[in-house]
């Protein structure tokens, strides 16, 4: 906490005039991209904020159910979708972010979403698409092992994995940016909890995981990008 305390008297790269970091990671040329249904096409149940909050509980067990691309599009749009691009350097989204830097990337471990193969995906906010990084029918089991074998990850049709690209925040905020990326992860996960309620889905946040194993499965180097939070999404047993 002392290392990220404000004011940070070091000169930031923004003040030095260094180039603005990219707003999102590039899509690997070999990745297949899947367009998601347009945000305006969503038709979901109307759930009050109070009901959404009271619905959630820290359940570790989900039923083995499926989602479709409309469901996934809805969840991604309201957690990290880009509503507006300002001056090619700032994105406005549906969640708060430290200095409006949005230093998170959203990965998806998919094992039960209709219309797309199982495997590892990354959300591309600028185009509202998902890129298949690695088709793999066994990835969910491996990822569950990285998450200390939480049962929800074994059963969930999709597990969200958020990684931090800290330089996006540190470029403008200095060391304070390292603290900001963790706060951002909390904002995004809470948005997932709220939006999932409209789909009658549960969210099981997971902050206890094997860092090195998770980073390896996600393809992160653990320094310039690293896993910060996971969340399995599905329906709770008894509420199918």
SS3 string, 163-183, reads EECCHHHHHHHCCHHHHHHHH
Among 106, 113, 76, 111, CA closest to 94: 76
Mean pLDDT of the chain: 92
> Tens digits of per-residue pLDDT, 47-81?
899 998 888 887 666 778 899 999 999 999 999 99
CATH class of 30-236: alpha beta
Region 219-225 average pLDDT = 97
Query: Residue 60: what pLDDT?
Result: 65
Query: Whole-angstrom Cα distance, residue 125 to residue 105?
Result: 9
Residue in the structure block whose two tokens are 């909890």: 193
Cβ proximity of 43 and 135 under 8 Å: no
Percentage of residues in the chain having pLDDT higher than 70? 97
Domain boundaries, the chain: 30-236
Which two structure tokens, joined as six digits, stand for 95? 């969640």
Lookup: tokens for 126? 């600028």
| Cβ atoms of residues 195 and 75 within 8 Å | yes
Each residue's pLDDT tens digit, 164-184 = 999 999 999 999 999 999 999
């Amino acid at each position: 906490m002392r290392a990220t305390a404000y004011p940070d008297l070091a000169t930031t790269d923004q003040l030095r005039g260094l180039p603005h970091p990219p707003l999102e990671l590039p899509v690997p040329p070999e990745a297949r991209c899947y367009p998601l249904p347009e945000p305006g096409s969503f038709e979901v149940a109307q759930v009050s904020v109070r009901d959404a909050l009271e619905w959630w509980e820290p359940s570790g067990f989900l039923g083995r159910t499926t989602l479709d691309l409309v469901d996934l599009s809805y969840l991604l749009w309201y957690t990290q979708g880009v509503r507006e691009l300002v001056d090619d350097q700032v994105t406005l989204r549906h969640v708060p972010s430290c200095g409006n830097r949005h230093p998170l990337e959203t990965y998806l471990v998919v094992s039960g979403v209709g219309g797309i193969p199982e495997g590892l995906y990354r959300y591309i906010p600028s185009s509202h698409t998902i890129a298949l990084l690695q088709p793999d029918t066994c990835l969910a089991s491996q990822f569950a092992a990285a998450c200390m074998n939480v049962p929800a990850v074994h059963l969930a049709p999709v597990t969200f994995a958020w990684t931090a690209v800290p330089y996006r925040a540190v470029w403008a905020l200095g060391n304070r940016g390292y603290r900001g990326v963790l706060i951002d992860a909390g904002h995004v996960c809470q948005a997932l909890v709220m939006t999932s309620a409209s789909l009658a889905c549960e969210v099981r946040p997971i902050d206890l995981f094997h860092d090195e194993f998770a980073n390896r499965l996600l393809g992160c180097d653990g320094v310039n990008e690293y896993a910060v939070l996971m969340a399995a999404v599905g329906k709770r047993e008894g509420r199918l």
